[in-house]
A and B are shown apart, each in its own frame.
Chain A
């Protein structure tokens, strides 16, 4: 069974640009969560989707947005990039309607903003 796939794995952008990251969950998993990981702040929750609906959102500015498609694949977008957005962006999927914290993570997309 294939794991969670995130693309691209690495990318470099400049301030003011926008970026879209993609996540394909494990087959059959309908919940997708996104996290930002930095050395100083650790893993910070961005948002969670189930059946194309955002069920929860973290404390990030509106420049961070996401969506989920009918096949459970998800994308997140960051507009007007800032230097502080440099981070590892992790996607995680889980199987059911109830979130119990059992998350299956991808290897992440490492974003560098110059």
Chain B
């Protein structure tokens, strides 16, 4: 069993839809939770960063962490075609020096 599970999709939505992306994990030692966005032929870029449990909002993006369920989510409101990319969840534990990534979910937003 992988430490981090993420549905690879693809996920196709119409422009303006609310997108929900999710990951589950098995290691309760994870403390840092991230979402990265990767466009085709580019390196991943950090989108959202959360320490421990709770919610974080940044513009159209909201990240949620539920440590009791070992479940994290990323919501994208008013999705745009420019949001079409692969979204990777990632996690790190204190002193781990090793960030673990999910498989990535490919998202297509149709105009």
Contacts and interface: CB of A to CB of B under 8 A. Distances in A.
A56 B102 CA distance: 19
A21 interface: no
Contacts of A48: 97-98
Size class of A's contact patch? 20 to 34
Interface string B77-92: 0000000000010111
Q: Is the interface of A mostly helix, strand, loop or mixed?
A: strand
Interface stretch (B11-19, B42-50, B61-69): B42-50
Contacts, number: 67
A107 B42 contact: yes
A70 interface: no
Nearest to B34: A101
A103 B42 contact: no
A42 interface: yes
Interface of B: 32-34, 36, 41-46, 49, 51, 88, 90-92, 94-104
